[in-house]
Amino acid sequence: MTAEETQAPKRAAQLRRKIEEHNRRYYQEAAPIISDREYDRLYQELLDLETQFPRLVSPDSPTQRVGGKPLEAFAQIAHRVPMLSLDNTYSEKEVASFYARITRLLPNQRIPVVIEPKVDGVAVSLLYENGRLRHAATRGDGAVGDDITQNIKTIRSIPERLRSAPPRVFEVRGEVFMDKRGFAKLNEERSKAGLPLFANPRNAAAGSLKQLDPAIVAKRPLGIVFYGTGAVDDVDLEKHSDLFPLLEKFGLPTSERWWLADSVVEILSAIRELDKIRADFAYQTDGAVVKVDAFAQRERLGFTAKSPRWAIAYKYEAERVETRLIDILVQVGRTGVLTPVAALETVTVSGSRVSRATLHNEDEIKRKDIRIGDTVVIEKAGEVIPAVIEVVKSKRPRSAKPFDFFKHIHGKCPVCGGPVRRDPQFVAWRCENIQCPAQTTRRVEFFAARSALDIESIGGIVADKLVERGLVREPLDLFELKLEQLAKLNLGTEEAPRIFGEKNASKAIHAIERAKTLPLSRWLFALAIPDVGKTTAMQLARFHETIEDVADSQLLRDVLTYHERSDQNRKQIANRLIEAGFAEKSKSKSEKDGIVTEVGRVVAKSVLAFFESEAGSRILRRMKQLHIFPKSEKISAKKAVKLPLAEKAFVLTGALASMTREEATAKIEALGGHVSGSVSKKTDYVLAGAEPGSKFEKAKQLGIRILTEAEFRKMLAR
């Protein structure tokens, strides 16, 4: 076996995983992270490997499938005629070999082909029965698609009834698009509303069609171009070029320009002409489709496993330009992830001015060996944010050093200066400081966590969506959430919504209300004060009644002064701290007269600084406004719950039958009472067992209530 052969299965598996992942991002999430070109490269590499080593082909390989999975939320429609896709190519040479191949397969015939724009949108299939729109579906996996009839009906250019003498069955296929101007406007609105932007018009169209709510779709500027048929009955068509006037007759929008050709030269000239004018089309196009015109010839050519032999899609190169990478900026996302962004010398690409490009993550920079000062190639195929495709190594300045992410950010978060960590499981670096101003989501999550305020159901994704939708900017905003807002919250994407719902929302609101009553220690922990963990929070709560007491703590100030100064006051302060129980004499001999304080200097400093800071005082003010006054556990135990035997004095005498005296004492104390050794006027009850002594007599004299063992047990039971 050659080295290549031994490596091939591993590489194929790797490519399949990658392609599956990008398929999922593209089809299910409508949020791809690589360009079509890069995707095609991966796909082609897998295809080549499988061609070279056919034993590697498996039935579940992405090369054996047609498209993405339909979403579960929609009803499913089986296509009467499968919806296939086309073989793609980027080279004119391959267009020539396509034509040579069909000429070989259909010798001695003229083979006219139609060249038409390849619309960059979403493939759909509409079924008209007796002229009425019956249903509409997406391509799905080619065999079964999503039922998007309601959404399709919101597109104004699609007629519900076909004009003039419609056939019995007319299944018509085309591409739904969002026009370029509408796309720009939609993104502008989304940007203002703080919503994530669509990457390109195709994603925007896909996202719109996957909306479960047709009212939202109706607001989206969608259009359609029809370019083919599926199942038809009662239609007399011999060639594709006759379809255009027929579609027009029915009132169905179709391609504004198309060409007929019957030689390679003519085909290529049509492709080039289309490239010159397509910028003026209202919708985005990414190529030209070349199709055999005559249906009889199509039939003879047939299909491969995935696509027809009678057509090919030629894709135009996305516009690429070279520019210089001036710097790599690192942004901190609301979940704490650090994302590198290329700062570029401004250039014009596909008609827009570009000065930033995504670099995704550290690994991506390493893989492409991108360095500051490099000349890079950037590509923009209608996307909002362009991507850095590659480095022009020949133009690399001598001084350019390999990019070291950690060093570049000086080992700390560029927003707050906090520590950063790269989780070995993920490719991303993260800021570890929960107080980092950029990390809203993580702060909210921490605040609501079980060990903090235990706000059930405000976990990771809910917190993130609340922040993303602008409903929560800081943890205390949770207390102003309304039930309806939470119930309506979409935890999925716009494309695949998942609504939080009334029941969950009501549970969450309940938990939020309950959080207000949680003790001080939990609150001190939840606020994520630097250096204050759970134990420290508990220690602080034991010595302070309220949060204001902590913020303005004499004890903490004493700890600071004690540790930071060496004046005579030191001894006095030490005594004060010992008296308050906040410090003990040090046992270490080296530290004569020294003390050990409950919390150390670092904590004391951090807590005082936190509440003195702008953010800290805002929290205190806000808590007051929200009527949140957490109390220390010790205090609330005494004051808040009045125990049934609170402040009652008991005296025990004689032998008890069902319990020992110790047990009886424990029970009285558990209910808040206390037991003393002798009877006085202050005694409330004397519990008398068998053969009681002088205490019994004294109680009788003083008129104190005497309980038999049975009466005492009844009292406990009550």
Cα–Cα distances in angstroms (integers) from residue 703 to residues 322, 655, 680, in the given order: 103, 22, 11
Site string (29-68) toward ligand IVH, x via CB under 6 A: ----------------------------------------
DSSP category for residue 681: T
Chain centroid offset of residue 29 CA: 11
What residues have CB less than 8 Å from 33, skipping those under 6 apart? 22, 25, 360
Residue 638, SS3? helix
Give 88-128 as a DSSP string. Answer: EE--HHHHHHHHHHHHHHSTTS---EEEEEEE-SEEEEEEE
Which CB, 266 or 531, lies closer to ligand IVH?
Answer: 266
Residue 118 designated active-site = yes
Structure tokens that stand for 422 in this block: 């790269």
Cα 427 from Cα 339, distance rounded (Å): 10
Structure tokens that stand for 486 in this block: 């939470």
Binding ligand IVH (rule: CB under 6 A), the pick from 16, 118, 278, 334 is 118
- What residues from 598 to 617 belong to the interface with ligand IVH (CB under 6 A)? none
Which of the ranges 115-123, 336-344, 464-472, 691-699 carries the binding residues for ligand IVH, by CB under 6 A? 115-123
Shortest CB 171 distance to ligand IVH, Å: 13
- What residues from 385 to 444 belong to the interface with ligand IVH (CB under 6 A)? none
Shortest CB 476 distance to ligand IVH, Å: 49
Shortest CB 142 distance to ligand IVH, Å: 9
Which CB, 187 or 255, lies closer to ligand IVH?
Answer: 255
Cα 693 from Cα 678, distance rounded (Å): 11
Which of the ranges 114-122, 162-170, 384-392, 692-700 carries the binding residues for ligand IVH, by CB under 6 A? 114-122
CB < 8 Å & 24+ apart, contacts of 432-435 = 432/336, 433/530, 434/528, 435/528, 435/530, 435/615
Which of the ranges 117-125, 464-472, 474-482, 542-550 carries the binding residues for ligand IVH, by CB under 6 A? 117-125
Which CB, 39 or 446, lies closer to ligand IVH?
Answer: 39
- What residues from 313 to 332 belong to the interface with ligand IVH (CB under 6 A)? 313
283 binds ligand IVH (CB under 6 A): no
Which of the ranges 78-86, 275-283, 455-463, 536-544 carries the binding residues for ligand IVH, by CB under 6 A? 78-86
Which of the ranges 84-92, 233-241, 480-488, 595-603 carries the binding residues for ligand IVH, by CB under 6 A? 84-92
Which CB, 139 or 443, lies closer to ligand IVH?
Answer: 139
Cα 211 from Cα 73, distance rounded (Å): 10
Kindly state the number of chain residues that form the binding site for ligand IVH, as judged by CB under 6 A.
Answer: 13
DSSP category for residue 572: H
119 binds ligand IVH (CB under 6 A): yes
Binding ligand IVH (rule: CB under 6 A), the pick from 308, 460, 492, 497 is 308
Binding ligand IVH (rule: CB under 6 A), the pick from 12, 19, 123, 370 is 123
Shortest CB 454 distance to ligand IVH, Å: 50
289 binds ligand IVH (CB under 6 A): yes
Which of the ranges 79-87, 178-186, 195-203, 514-522 carries the binding residues for ligand IVH, by CB under 6 A? 79-87
Shortest CB 10 distance to ligand IVH, Å: 30
C-beta of residue 271 within 8 angstroms of C-beta of residue 314: yes
Shortest CB 50 distance to ligand IVH, Å: 20
Cα 476 from Cα 617, distance rounded (Å): 13
Cα 330 from Cα 414, distance rounded (Å): 7
Which CB, 128 or 227, lies closer to ligand IVH?
Answer: 227
Which CB, 97 or 355, lies closer to ligand IVH?
Answer: 97
116 binds ligand IVH (CB under 6 A): yes
Which CB, 142 or 333, lies closer to ligand IVH?
Answer: 142
DSSP category for residue 450: T
Shortest CB 396 distance to ligand IVH, Å: 37
Site string (131-170) toward ligand IVH, x via CB under 6 A: ----------------------------------------
Shortest CB 228 distance to ligand IVH, Å: 5
Shortest CB 118 distance to ligand IVH, Å: 4
Phi, psi of 137 (to 5 degrees): -140, 155
| Cα dihedral across residues 650, 653, 656, 660: positive or negative | positive
Residue with the CB atom nearest ligand IVH in the bound state: 123
Structure tokens that stand for 633 in this block: 């556990």
Shortest CB 380 distance to ligand IVH, Å: 20
Which CB, 175 or 293, lies closer to ligand IVH?
Answer: 175
Which CB, 64 or 658, lies closer to ligand IVH?
Answer: 64
C-beta of residue 319 within 8 angstroms of C-beta of residue 380: yes
Which CB, 285 or 521, lies closer to ligand IVH?
Answer: 285
Cα 509 from Cα 503, distance rounded (Å): 10
Shortest CB 335 distance to ligand IVH, Å: 35
695 binds ligand IVH (CB under 6 A): no
Shortest CB 85 distance to ligand IVH, Å: 4
Phi, psi of 487 (to 5 degrees): -60, -35
- What residues from 215 to 234 belong to the interface with ligand IVH (CB under 6 A)? 227-228
Q: Where are the beta strands (DSSP E) in 366-445?
A: 375-380, 387-391, 420-422, 429-431
- Name beta bridge partners: 686: 651, 706
Which of the ranges 94-102, 112-120, 275-283, 668-676 carries the binding residues for ligand IVH, by CB under 6 A? 112-120
C-beta of residue 266 within 8 angstroms of C-beta of residue 213: no
Which of the ranges 116-124, 410-418, 543-551, 702-710 carries the binding residues for ligand IVH, by CB under 6 A? 116-124
What residues have CB less than 8 Å from 559, skipping those under 6 apart? 577, 582, 583, 597, 599, 600, 601, 604
Give the amino acid at 375. T
Cα–Cα distances in angstroms (integers) from residue 505 to residues 287, 481, 486, 494, in the given order: 47, 10, 5, 19
Binding ligand IVH (rule: CB under 6 A), the pick from 12, 84, 547, 608 is 84
Binding ligand IVH (rule: CB under 6 A), the pick from 175, 379, 383, 495 is 175
85 binds ligand IVH (CB under 6 A): yes
Residue 85, SS3? coil
| Cα dihedral across residues 357, 363, 365, 369: positive or negative | negative
- Name beta bridge partners: 655: 690
Residue 7, SS3? helix
Structure tokens that stand for 157 in this block: 């250019």
205 binds ligand IVH (CB under 6 A): no
Give 601-629 as a DSSP string. Answer: HHHHHHHHHHHHSHHHHHHHHHHHHTT--
Shortest CB 209 distance to ligand IVH, Å: 13
- Name beta bridge partners: 324: 375
Which CB, 252 or 388, lies closer to ligand IVH?
Answer: 252
Cα 608 from Cα 586, distance rounded (Å): 25
Strand 311-315 to strand 285-292: parallel, antiparallel, or no bridges (unpaired)? antiparallel
Which CB, 116 or 362, lies closer to ligand IVH?
Answer: 116
Q: Which of 118, 210, 465, 667 is catalytic?
A: 118
Cα 577 from Cα 554, distance rounded (Å): 10
**What residues line the site for ligand IVH (CB under 6 A)?**
84-86, 116, 118-119, 123, 175, 227-228, 289, 308, 313
Q: Just list the catalytic residues.
A: 118
